[in-house]
Structure 1
Amino acid sequence: MAWLAVVLLFITSIAMLVSGLWRRGGFFGFPFLAAAMFLTFVLPQIPGLIDDRFLPQNSALARAVFFSWLCLVMCSVGWWLGKHSKLGPDLVFSEKRLLYYAAGLSLVGAYFFYRFGQLADEERLRGFLTGTAVAYLFFAKLLTYGLAIALLCFARRRSTLALCIVLFGLAFYFDRIVIAGRRSEAAELGLMVALAIWFHRGWAVPRSLVSLSLVFAMAGLVSVGEYRAATYYNGAPDWRAVLEINPVENWQKLLKQGGPEFRNLVFSMASISENQAYDFGISHWNSVVFVYVPAQLVGSKIKESLYIDTPLVYSRDYDPAPGTTPTGMMDSFASFSYFGCLKFALMAGILSWIYFCAMQGNTSMQLLYMLSATPAMLAITHFTNEIVIAWVHMAVFLIPGLLYAGMRPARRHPDNLNDGGFPRGAPQSVV
């Protein structure tokens, strides 16, 4: 039964990937990105668990795989429904003011990136960050916003200021990707660059390059731990140790032993089903409190009082491996049982509306989609509230900048930034 569910998940993932690659620019849509995450992150973790005698019960694995398939299907269903929604208002912004704001965001973000790098190793390198480290990374995200704005402006029209902001941001991304080995930052940077060019120039990344990126993603799944140990965790980077990493051997080990994240999903779904312990979405409130209520300012007691008790998602005799994630499928099931897959439909529907507004030349929606693509993928591998947390953060720091740049109805002017290079109704806007 488990193998049948695995085959179903595999075929659906491949079908969604082929559909995205078949249509020009289709791989920018969330269904393709979701299928890529299931193929490169979720599916490789399952085969080694099928004969694992330590799993809770025989049907637990099949149930987890089937629910994962439901979540993937909902990504496609929600996207299809969302693209039929009414488009948002068409606004314009002063390009100069946007770039000035982007420069300010980049400088503030760079300062906090620097401060984060100066923290002691026990604060900076722990698997679960707290306190000062979280605060620094909270503001360091502004560097990404500045880079995204500059990329959009530079893709529309070359300017020295936009280029300087882009190069400044790339220097910090180099450290996060090459030295720290952060896969999410690599995906985020690649998508931001590709989407900026796609929105304003109509140029799509070659399909062969997209396919190659999936291969690298699968290699990174099994090798990123060793890579970070060689380049980031031991002081100075040891590039010789990087060359000694054996992805093939790591893959064989993963396929034999199974992946820890999907093991977490199996155990959590078994415990939740047995106890009928659903939180009905309360966990989302708790995660927002954790991220946005600083204990340093309000005090630990006040912050603790804001949390709402939720049922345990794991049995007391199971401890997740340190550094592993619960996956978005886990919290979806923990909230509403099998109906929790509708979380993915809702997320995909909103992303679809944002994307098709962006394709019609809406600059604010272009920026929003560029910055939402990676959190949406993390909603699969980590927690579905990743996207909500990201949107709240964007609202706090980007809306003031858009207001400063002068949101107003569309009127043609050389300094106005309102269309993405595609006139309304152009064939390129249909993906």
Structure 2
Amino acid sequence: MADIIHIFCILISSIILIYVLYRVFIDKSLHLYSFMFIFIFASSVFILPQYVTIYKKLDNSLLTPLIVYITLCLVFTIIGCNLKLSFGLSRWERPLEKIFHEDYLTIYSVIFLITATLGFVKLLGSESALGTQWSGKDVIYNFLYTTYRYALIFSCVGFFKTKKRHFLHLLILSSFFFLDRIFIGGRRTDLVYYVIAIGVPYLYYTNAKIRLIILIPSMIVAFQLLTIMVALRTVTLDGSGFGSIASGVSLPQFKEIVAANEKLKAKEDRADELTACCYSMDAVNRLSAYNYGAIYWNSVVQDFIPASIVGEGVKKSLMLPTKNYKLEGYTIYKGSTTTGFFDTYSAFGYFGCLFFMFMAIVMTRIYIRAISNNTFYMIFYLCVIVDTLHAVTHRSTLFITGILTFLIWMIIVHFIIRFILFMSKSS
């Protein structure tokens, strides 16, 4: 019976992937840069290779709930992409657009380059940032530092939309942060950000067409590069922490990366993420340790309430209680995640798949506004779409905190621009 369920679920997942590929490359009713394509394709690339491994190794009592749940998540994602519900989001669209100043994309890019540089310098001078456990100040510095991603996105949209050369200069400047993070830090997230931040505006504003004969080899190369970057990070930073060429970390030799990659390949049959997800789902189900959504509130408190300002006691008091659970028969490896499938399941059980429908509805609405020549929503889309991919590979809470981070920075820069305009008028 379990085998029939597995085959049925894998068949449904395959049909979903084929359906999306058909709409993009055959029917051409869906853009290559649409949320549906990016999310389903990226999720499939993440899930399918690990499926092969865990299918051979795990007991059906662990495997069946995971396969059923992931299939439900993909099904409800497709449903969400095709639903026309707004969840009352339309009432927020006008206020959101009012805090955006389309004529000042250059100022946005410059401000984000300045804040990123400030955060970068502070992290370079922080000894605790080199380890796995960051201090409260490091978290604040990182909040500033990661705005280099916004700098690139604003620069790319400005350049491909207006073709003005100064945006190209800002694009190049922000690219230095990415190159450092990719080739020294081995950060796959930044590679994905970089490709999306440049690729989507290029395809949309130039109306360029990419042939399938070019796309398929490019995706194969990109997948191999993502795999190698884990090995690169193992060599340069011992797998974790903050590092930069400015802090004395040098580019590793190619043979060092190859050797590290061979060691990782020997461990590939672990399928870390989905295996950890299986055992974690089993533990939560066995102990009824569901948190009923508390993790989403707690993640907001964790990311946006600095203990260095309010105090550790106050911060902990703001968090909702969650039940503890212990895995049986498995230890989660260092650097591995339990995936966003697990934390949605730990919150709501099988109803957690509705989170993916909600996310798809929100992102599809943002995407539709973005391709209606709305600059704000194009930038919004680019700034949060990687967080939706993290909702699969890492934690679903990152989708919520990603949107909040974007909105917080938009409000901050809104008042900075208003102040600049006020001072220029006064003078």
TM-score of the aligned structures, taking structure 2 as reference length: 0.84
Alignment of 1:279 onto 2:291 = yes
Match of 1:79 among 63, 81, 89: 81
Match of 1:12 among 13, 16, 25: 16
1:203 matched to which residue of 2? 208
Preserved contact between residue 375 and residue 387 of structure 1 (Cα < 8 Å): yes
How do 1:129-278 residues align onto structure 2 when only pairs under 5 Å count? 129-220=134-225, 222-233=227-238, 235-242=249-256, 244-245=258-259, 254=268, 257-278=269-290
**Alpha-carbon separation, structure 1, partners of 2:36 and 2:394:** 17
Task: Call closer, same or farther: CA 1:341–1:156 in 2, change over 3 Å.
Answer: same
Deviation string for 1:44-72 (max 9, x for gaps)?
122222343xx5x5322121012111111
Query: Helix, strand or coil: the match of 1:272?
Result: helix
Task: Call closer, same or farther: CA 1:236–1:319 in 2, change over 3 Å.
Answer: same
Task: Call closer, same or farther: CA 1:73–1:384 in 2, change over 3 Å.
Answer: same
2:130 matched to which residue of 1? 124
Query: Helix, strand or coil: the match of 1:184?
Result: helix
Match of 1:364 among 376, 385, 403: 376
- Mean alpha-carbon deviation: is it higher for 396-405 or for 294-303? 396-405
**Alpha-carbon separation, structure 2, partners of 1:249 and 1:321:** 15
Q: Which runs of 5+ in 2 are unaligned?
A: 240-248, 419-427
Task: Call closer, same or farther: CA 1:17–1:327 in 2, change over 3 Å.
Answer: farther
Q: Which runs of 5+ in 1 are unaligned?
A: 407-431
| Deviation for aligned residue 1:213 | 4.3
Query: Helix, strand or coil: the match of 1:180?
Result: coil
- What is the CA RMSD across the aligned residues, in angstroms? 2.9
| Deviation for aligned residue 1:352 | 0.4
1:68 matched to which residue of 2? 70
Deviation string for 1:124-159 (max 9, x for gaps)?
242x54433322211112222222112111112132
Amino acid at match of 2:219: L
Task: Call closer, same or farther: CA 1:12–1:197 in 2, change over 3 Å.
Answer: same
| Deviation for aligned residue 1:365 | 0.5
Q: Sequence identity, in percent?
A: 23
How do 1:401-416 residues align onto structure 2 when only pairs under 5 Å count? 401-402=413-414
2:245 matched to which residue of 1? none
**Alpha-carbon separation, structure 2, partners of 1:275 and 1:349:** 32
Amino acid at match of 1:142: T
| Deviation for aligned residue 1:362 | 1.3
Task: Call closer, same or farther: CA 1:399–1:130 in 2, change over 3 Å.
Answer: same
Query: Helix, strand or coil: the match of 2:37?
Result: helix
| Deviation for aligned residue 1:169 | 0.1
Task: Call closer, same or farther: CA 1:91–1:359 in 2, change over 3 Å.
Answer: same
Deviation string for 1:110-134 (max 9, x for gaps)?
22123324433x63242x5443332
Deviation string for 1:249-299 (max 9, x for gaps)?
966752xx2311101110111122222332111110111111111111111
Alignment of 1:49 onto 2:61 = no
Amino acid at match of 1:239: Q
Alignment of 1:328 onto 2:340 = yes
Query: Helix, strand or coil: the match of 1:310?
Result: coil
| Deviation for aligned residue 1:14 | 4.2
| Deviation for aligned residue 1:178 | 1.9
**Alpha-carbon separation, structure 1, partners of 2:131 and 2:180:** 15
Amino acid at match of 2:354: L
Match of 1:106 among 104, 109, 113: 113
Select the structure with the greater relative contact order (CA < 8 A; seq sep ≥ 6). 1
1:413 matched to which residue of 2? none
TM-score of the aligned structures, taking structure 1 as reference length: 0.83
1:417 matched to which residue of 2? none
**Alpha-carbon separation, structure 1, partners of 2:65 and 2:222:** 26
**Alpha-carbon separation, structure 1, partners of 2:411 and 2:404:** 11
**Alpha-carbon separation, structure 1, partners of 2:254 and 2:226:** 20
**Alpha-carbon separation, structure 2, partners of 1:309 and 1:222:** 37
**Alpha-carbon separation, structure 2, partners of 1:47 and 1:274:** 25
